[in-house]
Amino acid sequence: MFQDLLLLAAAATCALATRYGSAPERVLTTAFLGNLLLEEGCAVLIGREFSTEHFSVYFALELSLLILFCAVALRANRVYPLWLGGGQIIAIAAHVLLQVLGREARAACEWIDACASLVQLVALTVGLSAHRSRQLRLGRRYPDWTATANSH
């Protein structure tokens, strides 16, 4: 149920980012939604995220999303991607925690992962809202990427 609501909210945020966002918003929301959809696809094919022996598959998905969030955070003229990276570190920690503590900690790890996704969704929504507010106030004059990102 929570995952379905999260997917719906992520899809709505992605649609809003496509309409009102610039490149960083579109990249981040598309990656977030894409990762959720990939996790759902994996759940159908190999089993749910925290109830399967396929740790490496889900860990690789989480790690690749962290790398993308960090790359955007380093280049984007925005602050909120740092929150996405922080949330992703928490999600990765939930997977590692399950490996360390074992099956008894599965419910706790699922909640940690779900809360990390919720933090990320809130950060995306707030970031998109802040971007839209800046656009209305300044027009399209402020850059999407930092000056150093544009010089390479």
pLDDT in tens, 70-92: 999 999 989 999 999 999 999 99
C-alpha to C-alpha distance for 9 and 104, rounded to whole angstroms: 30
Given a cut of 70, is residue 93 above it in pLDDT? yes
Provide the whole-model pTM. Answer: 0.89
For residues 128-139, average pLDDT: 88
C-alpha to C-alpha distance for 106 and 99, rounded to whole angstroms: 10
- Which of 145, 135, 107, 102 minimizes the C-alpha distance to 20? 135
Listed in sequence order, the DSSP H helices in the chain are: 2-20, 23-46, 55-75, 81-101, 106-138, 147-150
**Tell me, what's the pLDDT at 6?**
87
Give the total number of structural domains in the chain: 1
Q: List pLDDT tens digits, range 27-68.
A: 999 999 999 999 999 988 998 878 778 888 999 999 999 999
Confidence of residue 142 (pLDDT cuts 50, 70, 90): confident
Three-class DSSP category at 145? strand
For residues 95-105, average pLDDT: 90
> What's the domain range around 99?
2-150
Confidence of residue 150 (pLDDT cuts 50, 70, 90): low
For residues 102-112, average pLDDT: 90
**Tell me, what's the pLDDT at 149?**
57
Given a cut of 70, is residue 151 above it in pLDDT? no
